[in-house]
Amino acid sequence: MLKRMFDVVLVLILIVFLLPVYMIVSLLIVITMGSPILFKQKRPGKDGKIFEIYKFRTMTDETDEKGGLLSDEKRLTKMGKFIRSTSLDELPQLFNVLKGDMSFVGPRPLLVEYLPLYNEKQKKRHNVKPGITGWAQVNGRNSISWEEKFDYDVWYVEHQSFLLDMKILWMTFLKVFDRSGISSDTSVTIEKFKGSRR
Q: What is the mean pLDDT of residues 120-135?
A: 96
Q: Is pLDDT of 186 > 60?
A: no
CB neighbour class for 137 (10 Å; exposed up to 12, middle 13-18, buried from 19): buried
Mean pLDDT of the chain: 88
Q: Is pLDDT of 60 > 90?
A: no
Distance CA 71, CA 9 (A): 39
Q: How confident is the model at residue 197 (pLDDT cuts 50, 70, 90)?
A: low
Percent with pLDDT over 90 in the chain:
67
DSSP 28-57: HHHHHH-S--EEEEEEE-GGG-EEEEEEE-
Q: Is pLDDT of 63 > 80?
A: no
Closest CA to 132 of 32, 20, 10: 10
Helix (H) or strand (E) holding 174: helix 162-178
Query: How much is the pTM?
Result: 0.85
The whole-number pLDDT of residue 42 equals 97
Q: How confident is the model at residue 19 (pLDDT cuts 50, 70, 90)?
A: very high
pLDDT in tens, 74-122: 788 888 899 988 889 999 999 999 999 999 999 999 999 999 999 999 9
Beta bridge partners of 133: 105
The whole-number pLDDT of residue 62 equals 75
3-state secondary structure of 131: strand
